[in-house]
Amino acid sequence: MAGGKYTEKHAQSGLKTKLPKLETFPSQFPNYEITISYPEFTSICPKTGLPDFGSIHLKYMPNQKCLELKALKMYMLAYRDVGIFYENVVNRVLQDLVKASDPMWMVVKGVFNARGGMLGIAQAQYGKVPTNFSFPSELK
């Protein structure tokens, strides 16, 4: 592997970086799903310093709160300066969004552009996700 071995420092990079505050607003209705796609996601590989490009998709059922989109956009934009593996991005985003919004369930999926001939997809979930869950076909 060029550039030396991966270290624990690489693996933990970005997991505790301060990011913009996520905001919510009160949900006005029960039992509905929200799907959000952020197709211009960028972060930095903590080992190489090269950018990682991809799309982040999330789907959730609000409990009492919905995510406010402008704050979510600012949160996502902040990753462009964060050194973090994309597998960790998906899990960190899920943790932060769940903490902010306390949904009934949530799924976060990252589809990262091919680098070195390999496309990467990571997905994390929280709560009891419906057995018939899927993202809309245009987001797969």
**Hey, what amino acid is at 89?**
V
Say how far apart CA 136 and CA 112 lie, in whole Å: 18
Residue 96 is among the residues annotated as catalytic for this protein: no
**Hey, what amino acid is at 54?**
G
Say how far apart CA 105 and CA 36 lie, in whole Å: 14
Residue 66 is among the residues annotated as catalytic for this protein: no
Q: Where are the beta strands (DSSP E) in 10-127?
A: 24-26, 34-44, 51-61, 65-67, 105-115, 118-127
Burial level of 120, CB count in 10 A (0-12/13-18/19+)?
middle
Tell me the catalytic residues.
45, 52
